[in-house]
Amino acid sequence: MQDLLTRFPLLDVTQWNQATHTLVRIALIVLVAWIVMALLQRAIRLFRQRIAARLDDREAVKRAETLGRVFRYIVAVVVSLVAGMLVLSELGISLAPILGAAGVAGVAIGFGAQSLVKDFFSGFFILFEDQIRKGDVVQAAGHAGLVEEITLRHTRLRDYDGNVHYVPNGMIDSVVNMSRGFAQAVMDIGVAYREDTDEVYKVMREVAARMREDKLFGPRILDDLEIAGVDKWDDSAVVIRCRFKVVALEQWGVRREYLTRLKKAFDAAGIEIPFPHLTIYAGQDKAGNAPPFILRQITAE
């Protein structure tokens, strides 16, 4: 019988029991890991919701949502690694050589995956320093758009055309965030050289005052129109610079509405909005006389 068991190990019931126990322990490890991961992620989600409910600042709420998502991701990675190591231990695989080899391989991979490591470190500090939050409109690494997702690895942006940009965090060396606190709707208004600037200022302020009284746009504007004055003398226009202090992310809508209303007000007041002009100079002879222009009418045959 012993000889038979030696030739056919699968007939040994004791080995079956041992294998069954191993499979049961592995199943328990996987089950416990899944339960722990679910509980921790749920706890993080509930904690984030409780914090968000106590915050009145919309910016702080967005930061809490972003950090909560990152912490859930970290919990999933850590629990999965611990469960994987316990499963390998149950299978009789020694972890010491694996960890030693992983250390050597980590050094080698570190040189080859410097950009990946840089992405994770950059993502950590972007989140830690609160540079970007979900829902912000930012410009980073040559791309601009609404932040739909931010992880330790990348930041996902959606631009005005609906295109999605995945920007590795390691490529973000500077961030222009257009969503914090307030914004300025800056406008350059061009009028003809013959117009009286004081009259132009008066019309601009009247249009701005009516916008502040508007039920739709009034709450978006935080202060009266600030007219900086004549900014430059352009080829065909005197350029007047002005701005509105507005709620964050409302600068584009307020700017478009103000320019639309100002166009109608300029038309009603007879103020010219210039366009490029071309003056033809025929030259003079030595006596200072300019030859007359000869206009010929071209008719279709």
DSSP E strand boundaries for 121-259: 137-140, 143-150, 154-158, 164-168, 175-177, 182-191, 226-233, 238-247
The answer to whether residue 265 scores a pLDDT higher than 60 is: yes
Model confidence over 182-192: pLDDT tens digits? 999 999 999 99
Instruction: Give me the domains of the chain, ranges plus CATH numbers.
Output: 2-93 (no CATH), 131-177 (2.30.30.60), 182-269 (3.30.70.100)
Q: Is 0.75 surpassed by the pTM of this model?
A: no
Banded pLDDT at 83 (limits 50, 70, 90): confident
Q: How far apart are CA 164 and CA 213, in angstroms?
A: 38
Model confidence over 92-109: pLDDT tens digits? 776 666 666 666 566 655
Reduced to 3 states, what is the DSSP secondary structure of residue 79? helix
Task: Find the helix or strand (DSSP H, E) in which 199 lies.
Answer: helix 197-213
